[in-house]
Structure formats: structure tokens, C-alpha cells
Chains A and B, each alone.
Chain A
Amino acid sequence: MKFTITREKLHEGLGAVAASVPTKTTLPVLANILVEASKDGLRLSGTDLDISVSTTIPASVDQEGATTLPARKLVEIVKELPNAAIRMTSSGEQRATIECGKSKFKLLGLSRDDFPAFPSVKFEGGWKVAAKDLQKLIQHVAFAASTEESRPILNGVLWELRADRMRMVATNGHRLARMDVPTSGHGGGQADLIIPPKALEQIRRLFGGDEEIEIGKSDNHLGFRSTTTQIYTRLIEGPYPNYEQVIPRENDKSLTADKAALAAALRRMSIVASDQTHRIRMAFTNGACKLSVQTPDLGEAQEELAVAYEGDSLEIGFNAAYMLEILKYMPTDEVRMTFKAPERAATCEPVGWDDPASYMTLVMPLRLVD
């Protein structure tokens, strides 16, 4: 294997792949990146067996070949090299020489045959979607997935593909995010897929917004590819909980507020809130929202916020961290929240969003103790 590549391109390619290399692993080859030089350029691949990423970058290849090299060391070396052409050669299978300007490194690797094969996924008969649509869904929904191990299905994001729309839903049981994006056909059939957020994060990061992504599926894997990048992920199996039934339809009180002002008030209140529950109290009456917090052994705080509120007055408790998180992902300056009762789900939606997508989030209140 022999090729020459710009430091910038190699750095970019490694950056894309290195994130999928596990920091701790019992299988040594997984700490390596597979480097393959061919007439198409240089292909770099990494995997933790759950998620596999590969990217092809332009390089001037003199001699085709492949090896695997330790990811962290390779990234560090390339990071420290000057901005000049890098020449990489490997004579034996497991040793590579990296030369750049007056620097020269020899790095030991492992045989490419040890590197696990990527899942075989059929792209024929799969789906085709615009990267920007998929990225929009991921950006607004993936945060809501659970990080606790007790219910693995909630560690995934549900992706529903329908004839004329795509939807993503994620929840940890206390808050939920849902977004629909209309599509003009994606080629494939209807499907419900549950995807680990870590894979979605790679998809959001690595595909260009104007690319079209091809998606293929096998029994338990999903593949995403464009001309330069491929991402494979394990699917989470099992039925996703029936989220539709928890979306409130009878909320009869509504609040419209400036997102930034509401978030700022919540941040101030949460300073004095309990570290465990982050409990804050919100009291709504006509035209005003009173926020308050009272934490034994710490102190209390109050604040009043001018809002548009319709409905009977209401006192309700929330985890300030959940509220702030939901507001963070709201795409508009103004938000609308709806409520029913102190123990029922509240919704939050953008106001005046100039986008064909529809977005809503849901948060469950906290019990207020008087």
C-alpha cells in the first residue's frame, strides 16, 4: 500500500471515523482503524460492533493495499503534523510508515483480516431520503431518548417511515419529543425502526446536508450510505411503547411565552432547586406566570413572567432540567405550552415555525409537596 494525501483530508477522514472506535475494548483490532487504499481513494473504517462508520477520501494511490492502525495514535500523529502532504506506505501487512515533511513515523498495526466485516445490508429496495430531513428529525428528537439501562427499548429512537412522511419519536418515560417531516416518496415500503441515538448522532454529523442518503436493512441492522460515507448500526429489537396514547388531546389551558425569557427564568429558579428533583413550581393566572422554588436547607426564589395564558388558573410542578432541555430544541422564538391538571402531561410546541415539519414535545409534571 502506498499513497499520498493532504494532511487536511486525512485529518477530516479520521475525525469522521474515530468517533466510532471504542475507547475500551476486549477485542484489540476494534481500537484500530481499517485503512484501505484503492483506485477510488482512501477508505477509512472504524467499528465498535454496534455502529460501523466508513468514509472515502480523495488520495493519490500509487499502490493498492490495506492494513489496520491504532486509531488514537494515528489521530494524534496526524493532528500534530504540519499542513503538508502525507505519504503513507506499508510494506508488510502490519506496519505502516507515515512521512510528512521531515517527520517520519513507523506504526505497528494488526492484520486487516482481523478487522470485522461490516454487516451485510441490502440497499436494493430500500429507502432514499434527503440528509437534511433526516438530520432535522435527529436534531430535534434524539435528545429525548433514555440513557438508563432498565428499559432498553427506550434507549432507542423510533423512526417511522410512511408513504408521505417520516416521523421520529423518543422518550425516557418522563418527557417525549416527536417530529413529522413530509416526504415526496422515499422509494421503500413502510417501516418502524428503533435506532440507537449514538448512530443517529453519527448520521447527523457525517452526511452533508445536501446529500441524498440511501438506506438499506437486514434483519437486525440498518445501513446508511452516500457516495462517500457509510454508516451501519444495530437495530434495537422489540415493540416500541404505544406513545400515541399518552399524547394529551384534552389539554384545555394554554400558555404562549417568549422562549428565551422563559428559559432564563427557569435557569434562575433552578439555581435554588433541589439537585435531585430540580423541582420548580409554576402558577398560571390570567396574563402571568409565577415561578417559584423552595428547597429545604437551601432557600427559595420567586419570579414573575408576563405571558399569554388562557384557561383556569393552575399550579403545577416540573423538573426544571426537563423544561430547559425541551426549550433548547424548540426552533422558534415563541413557544406554546398546554396543560390539563397538575398530574397530567404538558405539551410544548413552536409558534409560527416556517417549516413543513411539525414538532411537539411532552413533559410530565412533578408532584408538588406543600
Chain B
Amino acid sequence: MGQPPAGARRILLADCDQMFVAVARLADPEVAGKARLLVVGGRPGGRGVVCSASYEARAYGLRAGMPISRAERLCPKATFVPVPRKACGVKHREIRAVLDEWTPLVEPASVDEFYLDLTGTERLYKDEALAQTAGRLRADVHARAGLTLSIGGGTNRLVAKLAAERAKPRNNPEAPGVLIVPPGQEGAFLADHALAEIPGVGPRLQAALRRYGLIRVPEALRIECGAFERWLGPRTGQWLYRRIRGQGSDEVDPVGEAKSMSHEETFAKDIASDDALEAELLRLVTALGRDLRAEGLAAGCITVKLRDHDFKTRQLSRSQPEPLRTDRAIFGAAREMLRALRARRRVAARLVGVSFSALTASEGKPQFTLLPADTRERETPKDRRLATAVDRINAKLGERTIRPARLVRRPGRERE
């Protein structure tokens, strides 16, 4: 996989436009499909947050992450639908399958974003311009998966990502959906951005830079690397110095399937009881555990997130001695973390979340162990057989046919 003699890397970022909205419309043509003002991510009157909103709804000021209650006030006529998680997973795989036909180097960056490395495909695509290849690829995905991509391209991931932003119809109605930054133009392209637009420059860094009067990239280009290092620390300083010059990684890692999986729930009402929170955690673990096993993966690291009623958000992560994949073992580990979080601050909570990372293929543990694991977290062959059997039954008879007794009908808190 050497670099072509021409030298320039050909990296694309394909970003699915409003994936959640588009998939919700495909999945529910009657309701979501007909709603121009569509909000994905909760029920009206609920307390969740907006996951995504249609462009029309965004015109009312709606954006992702906004509490549903606020979205309702801003856009009372909007239709609210739940996040079509499962359908999104299916679409993600469909898009991936199409992209895989265009280049072997496809790295999913999230459910709706993929990095592609087309370096070395010049002759395969008969030396056509990268923009042309990207355009054909975009049409292919649209025809076969029914979803629209915005594609940005350049010699590295950063430039591709920013170009994809510019290519989005939302940002520019004239945009053709594809924007390629030619090699050598990275600096000039970056110079046309605000610092806040650069991925990785978050609110805190923006605030730090604002103190030095730096808002846009051209202003920051005048600053020497040493000054950045003094202001922001050596690592961040050097990183930013390179970043604003359009330098970044050009690695596309096709093995990097999903890097993590997560699931969280904002409650309709704040929950104060430890027991009820644990039940919510179990519900999340059960749902996410099923997805984990469906992908043939095991989680090497488990994270539990807790948002208190006052929006203070805390989380704990634990690497597991062995990757886990059964609900009992994962819940055992997750519950311990939840308890630790609660022990530090026991107030009513508005959200609990769980995520799995350090994902590995679950095909048997490679390392034999000397000691029987702790009974508390130990994942026995019996656990694994049970999980497989339950998954099979639920796949056949419906998702929640067999579930933990703790989750069966709790008066007043029935869901779905």
C-alpha cells in the first residue's frame, strides 16, 4: 500500500446528511416521512435531547443536544419521533458495503461518517479527478442505500472533514455535495475557517485562544509555535500549530470497525433511588449487550455515565481483565461503577449511560488464565451459552421476549 509516485494522498470523508432524520423517514414513511418539521430523539413532553432535526426544523433554531422541551417551545408544530437506532445500524452497514466496493480502505468514524483512502486508485478510476470519483460514489450510495452523502476530500483527514462540512447542502444550498481541496491548497483552505470550526478546538480551547484575540485561522497563523506551546502546553500548542496549517493524519484504518458503542437514557423524571437507577442501567446494558453480541464483539472497557439533576455529568471507566460480552458480567462491572459514582454524590439523576470500548472479536479468549476469575465478574461458559440462547429466542420471537425480571413491568414506569 505504498504511496503513488504522484505523492498526494487521496482521503475522503463521506458524511451521511442528516442520517437520523433520513433513516427515520425511510423507517416510518407515514408519520416521519410526511413531516417537514421533524425532530428525532424523543417524545413531546419528554425530557430527552434532540438527536437530529430536519433542515426545516433547524430554521427554527433547533439543534442536536438541545432539550426536547426547548425544541417544543421553539418549534411547536414539529413532529417528534424516537431515534431509529436499529434501522440506523442497518443503513450504516449498507453504506459501508457500497463504499467497500470503491476502496478497501474504509474506516467508519461514527454511525454516519466514513473515512476513505483512495490513494493508489488513480489508474483504477482512469485518472479521473478525485471530485468526479467522489461524485460517482455519492450517486452509487444514493441509488443503492437511499441516503445522501456529503463528501469532502483532500490530502489528509482534517482537510477532508472540513471540506465535507462545506459540501453539505445545509451550509450551502448551491453545494454539489462534493468538495475536494487540491493538494497544496490545504493552508489556503484552512485560512478561510474560524478556529472554532477546526475539529478538536472545543469551547475551552476557543476561550483560551480568544484571550489572545484569536478567532479566525489567519490571525492564528501569525503566532509562532513556541507561543502556542507556552499558552496551551507543548502538546496542544504543537497540535494547533500544525492543525491551522492544514496538516493532519492521513491514516485510514480499515480494521477500526466500531471503536465504541454507547447507549444512554434521559429519564422522564429525575430518578433519586439507587435501585431504580440500577434498573435503568440494566435496561441499557441489556440493549447494548445484544448489539455487542450481534456484531460478534466483546468489550474490553466499560464506561458508566451519570448526569445529575443539575446537569453535572460524571463518568467512570474500567478496563476489564478479559473482554466481556454477556449481560450478567457487564452489568456486574457497570453496577459497581454506578455505585461508586453514587457514593461520591448521591442526588437525583437525569441521565444514565453506558458505553463499551476496546472492542475485540469475541472468538474465545486467546490467553488462558491461571486462576478462576472473580466470581462477581466472571463470565462463565454458562453465561455465554445463556446469552446466545436468549439472543436467538429474542431474534425469533421479538426483542423483549426474554429479559431480566427486574425490567418486567414496573408500575408507573412502563416504557415503549
- State the A residues within 8 Å of B (CB): 148-151, 171, 173-176, 241, 243, 246, 277, 279, 297, 317, 319, 343, 345, 362, 364-367, 369
Please state if A277 and B367 are interface contacts (CB–CB under 8 Å): yes
In the complex, identify which listed stretch (B134-142, B370-378, B397-405) lies at the interface while the others stay far away.
B370-378
Please state if B370 and A150 are interface contacts (CB–CB under 8 Å): no
A148 to B368, CA, bound (A): 17
A151 to B373, CA, bound (A): 9
Please state if A364 and B319 are interface contacts (CB–CB under 8 Å): no
Tell me the smallest distance from the CB of A73 to a CB of chain B, in Å. 21
Tell me the smallest distance from the CB of A233 to a CB of chain B, in Å. 24
Flag whether B364 is at the interface (Cβ < 8 A). Answer: yes
A107 to B367, CA, bound (A): 53
Flag whether B230 is at the interface (Cβ < 8 A). Answer: no
Question: Quick one: closest A residue to B320, CB to CB?
Answer: A150
Flag whether B365 is at the interface (Cβ < 8 A). Answer: yes
Chain A hits for B373, CB < 8 A: 151, 173
Flag whether B36 is at the interface (Cβ < 8 A). Answer: no
- State the B residues within 8 Å of A (CB): 255, 318-321, 364-371, 373-374, 377
**Sample of 27 A–B contacts (CB below 8 Å):** A150-B319, A150-B374, A150-B377, A151-B374, A171-B371, A173-B369, A173-B371, A173-B373, A174-B367, A174-B368, A174-B369, A174-B370, A243-B371, A246-B370, A246-B371, A277-B367, A317-B366, A319-B367, A345-B370, A364-B368, A364-B369, A365-B368, A367-B365, A367-B366, A367-B367, A367-B368, A369-B366
A343 to B366, CA, bound (A): 10
Question: Quick one: closest B residue to A368, CB to CB?
Answer: B366
A343 to B365, CA, bound (A): 12
Chain A hits for B319, CB < 8 A: 148-150
Chain A hits for B374, CB < 8 A: 150-151
A148 to B364, CA, bound (A): 21
Question: Quick one: closest A residue to B364, CB to CB?
Answer: A367
Question: Quick one: closest B residue to A279, CB to CB?
Answer: B366
Please state if A366 and B368 are interface contacts (CB–CB under 8 Å): yes
The answer to whether A343 and B321 touch (CB under 8 A), given A150-B377, A151-B374, is no
Tell me the smallest distance from the CB of B272 to a CB of chain A, in Å. 28
Of B321, B370, B377, most A-chain CB atoms within 10 Å: B370
A150 to B369, CA, bound (A): 15
A77 to B364, CA, bound (A): 55
7 closest A-B pairs by beta carbon, nearest first, are A364-B368, A150-B321, A241-B371, A367-B366, A246-B370, A173-B369, A366-B366
A201 to B369, CA, bound (A): 26
Tell me the smallest distance from the CB of B380 to a CB of chain A, in Å. 16
Question: Quick one: closest B residue to A365, CB to CB?
Answer: B368
A364 to B372, CA, bound (A): 13
Tell me the smallest distance from the CB of A245 to a CB of chain B, in Å. 9
Tell me the smallest distance from the CB of A364 to a CB of chain B, in Å. 4
Question: Quick one: closest B residue to A153, CB to CB?
Answer: B374
Tell me the smallest distance from the CB of B42 to a CB of chain A, in Å. 36
Question: Quick one: closest B residue to A343, CB to CB?
Answer: B368
Tell me the smallest distance from the CB of A184 to a CB of chain B, in Å. 33
Tell me the smallest distance from the CB of B414 to a CB of chain A, in Å. 36
Chain B hits for A364, CB < 8 A: 367-370
Chain B hits for A246, CB < 8 A: 370-371
Chain A hits for B365, CB < 8 A: 367
A149 to B373, CA, bound (A): 13
- The A interface is mostly helix, strand or loop, or mixed, namely loop
Tell me the smallest distance from the CB of A24 to a CB of chain B, in Å. 16
List 12 other contacts, CB 8 Å, given A297-B255, A364-B369: A148-B321, A149-B319, A150-B318, A171-B371, A173-B371, A174-B367, A175-B370, A277-B366, A279-B366, A317-B366, A362-B370, A364-B370
Chain A hits for B320, CB < 8 A: 150
A204 to B42, CA, bound (A): 60
Please state if A151 and B368 are interface contacts (CB–CB under 8 Å): no
The answer to whether A151 and B366 touch (CB under 8 A), given A241-B371, A243-B371, is no
Tell me the smallest distance from the CB of B162 to a CB of chain A, in Å. 30
A94 to B179, CA, bound (A): 65
Please state if A173 and B321 are interface contacts (CB–CB under 8 Å): yes
Chain A hits for B318, CB < 8 A: 149-150
Chain A hits for B370, CB < 8 A: 171, 173-176, 246, 345, 362, 364
Tell me the smallest distance from the CB of B296 to a CB of chain A, in Å. 15
Chain A hits for B366, CB < 8 A: 277, 279, 317, 366-367, 369
Chain A hits for B367, CB < 8 A: 174, 277, 319, 364, 366-367
A279 to B367, CA, bound (A): 9
Chain B hits for A173, CB < 8 A: 321, 369-371, 373
Question: Quick one: closest B residue to A319, CB to CB?
Answer: B367
A364 to B319, CA, bound (A): 21
Tell me the smallest distance from the CB of B150 to a CB of chain A, in Å. 31
A297 to B253, CA, bound (A): 12
Chain A hits for B377, CB < 8 A: 150
Of B255, B365, B369, most A-chain CB atoms within 10 Å: B369
A364 to B371, CA, bound (A): 10
Tell me the smallest distance from the CB of B51 to a CB of chain A, in Å. 33
Chain A hits for B321, CB < 8 A: 148, 150-151, 173
Chain A hits for B255, CB < 8 A: 297
Chain A hits for B371, CB < 8 A: 171, 173, 241, 243, 246
A22 to B139, CA, bound (A): 59
Question: Quick one: closest B residue to A146, CB to CB?
Answer: B321
A151 to B371, CA, bound (A): 12
Tell me the smallest distance from the CB of A316 to a CB of chain B, in Å. 10
A176 to B377, CA, bound (A): 21
Tell me the smallest distance from the CB of A8 to a CB of chain B, in Å. 34
Chain A hits for B364, CB < 8 A: 367
Tell me the smallest distance from the CB of A270 to a CB of chain B, in Å. 15
Question: Quick one: closest A residue to B369, CB to CB?
Answer: A173
Chain B hits for A151, CB < 8 A: 321, 373-374
A173 to B320, CA, bound (A): 13
Chain B hits for A369, CB < 8 A: 366
A365 to B369, CA, bound (A): 8
A367 to B368, CA, bound (A): 7
Chain B hits for A148, CB < 8 A: 319, 321
Tell me the smallest distance from the CB of B294 to a CB of chain A, in Å. 23
Question: Quick one: closest A residue to B377, CB to CB?
Answer: A150
Chain B hits for A343, CB < 8 A: 368
A343 to B377, CA, bound (A): 22
A176 to B365, CA, bound (A): 19
A176 to B369, CA, bound (A): 11
Tell me the smallest distance from the CB of B199 to a CB of chain A, in Å. 27
A362 to B367, CA, bound (A): 14
A148 to B321, CA, bound (A): 7
